[in-house]
Structure 1
């Protein structure tokens, strides 16, 4: 890519509040793996730990004094967009966000907070808005619009006992003001508030010993 094209791209990035291409490339000096710095957008106010992987087409934006922090080993897949507009988004370690269609995380009201723990999976083109707490090991699987919800912490999806894993939402639709306890899951295709809460072993029977 010629210097003039890079300069033009950097001007556009600057107007939108994002770092220049060279600064995104320089994240490698801090141990961040950026697979395509030309399609990856990162703004000031973003803190990425060593070991984070940014796949092409990821966007991490902090505006109006907002903050985004991402823990070590977390992978942001193509189509992931994280926005903190005068609010905070915190993401723990070894978390997977955006595989199977991307994911949107948007904290955009004053003093807003979206907390995402470690070993979490957010897959399948879903979204988080308003305030949410996604505990360690919890999962959102599918195109689910989640607002003001809490998934309680537990083991990851690799824990051999499904009823000890973090809370799970799976399917598609809208989830508002819900709490999913450790080891439980709600599956719905529409309004999650109308769907039953089940133990995860309902979908993943425990192995007999």
Structure 2
């Protein structure tokens, strides 16, 4: 197989599955984005991408309709970051919801997704919306689901499934006063249907019944 035919076959498979071609993926760099490995980076034709984002290898953005994924500027997506905004199955099953739109993911600017285990963000059930503000961190295997809002500066640190939660906004992790920083969830396990307030850390065990709340200054002394 010639190199030209190889690239053509790769692009055909990408388009058949709703992803940008190799050249379309690299065209994102014209707006200051960095795509370190276009061969392993899959970005939906329906995703709206801002400027100056960095995409490491093995990043996937999957969406099934225009602007189901909207990304701002200067975010970093480390390897194994997976975003999916999709609707219900429309193959004739009894679970069809033909009149209800699928999920939406909205991401602001200056966030870090990964590394160390990647991050999964899935708005893949009818009417769900995951909103992520600016300057947050989502690391080490975090999974974000359902109707969830992560305010400016919020952090999810660890192999935690966060479903239908609100993390209130505040200063980013570098802020001088830890009790003014945005809400944080850390640990391992599941947290569902919770609101974590500014300046608080929710420490999650193996089950949601084991959530413990602390002031952030419990873990981090004030700076200055």
Which interval holds the TM-score relative to the shorter structure? over 0.9
- Structure 1 position 6, deviation (Å): 1.1
Residue aligning to 1:27: 28
Q: 2:106 aligns with which of 67, 76, 90?
A: 90
1:57 aligns with 2:65: no
- Structure 1 position 140, deviation (Å): 0.2
- Structure 1 position 130, deviation (Å): 1.1
1:161 aligns with 2:177: yes
Once the two structures are overlaid, the 10-residue window that deviates more, 146-155 or 183-192, is 183-192
Question: Could you say what secondary structure the match of 1:146 adopts?
Answer: strand
- Structure 1 position 2, deviation (Å): 1.6
- Structure 1 position 80, deviation (Å): 0.2
Cα distance, 1:153–1:101 mapped onto 2, change above 3 Å: same
Residue aligning to 2:19: 18
- Structure 1 position 178, deviation (Å): 0.8
- 1: CA distance, partners of 2:58 / 2:213: 35
- How many equivalent residue pairs? 208
Residue aligning to 2:152: 136
- 1: CA distance, partners of 2:200 / 2:74: 26
- Structure 1 position 66, deviation (Å): 5.8
TM-score using structure 2 length: 0.89
Q: What RMSD in Å do the two structures reach over aligned CA positions?
A: 1.5
1:28-67, Cα deviation, whole Å (9 max, x unpaired) = 1122111111110011121111111111111111114561
- Structure 1 position 136, deviation (Å): 0.4
Question: Could you say what secondary structure the match of 1:5 adopts?
Answer: helix
- 2: CA distance, partners of 1:111 / 1:49: 24
1:83-108, Cα deviation, whole Å (9 max, x unpaired) = 11122101111000121211000001
- Structure 1 position 143, deviation (Å): 0.4
- 2: CA distance, partners of 1:128 / 1:25: 28
Question: Could you say what secondary structure the match of 1:175 adopts?
Answer: strand
- 1: CA distance, partners of 2:79 / 2:142: 13
- Structure 1 position 206, deviation (Å): 2.5
1:116 aligns with 2:137: no
- 2: CA distance, partners of 1:133 / 1:162: 21
- Structure 1 position 201, deviation (Å): 0.6
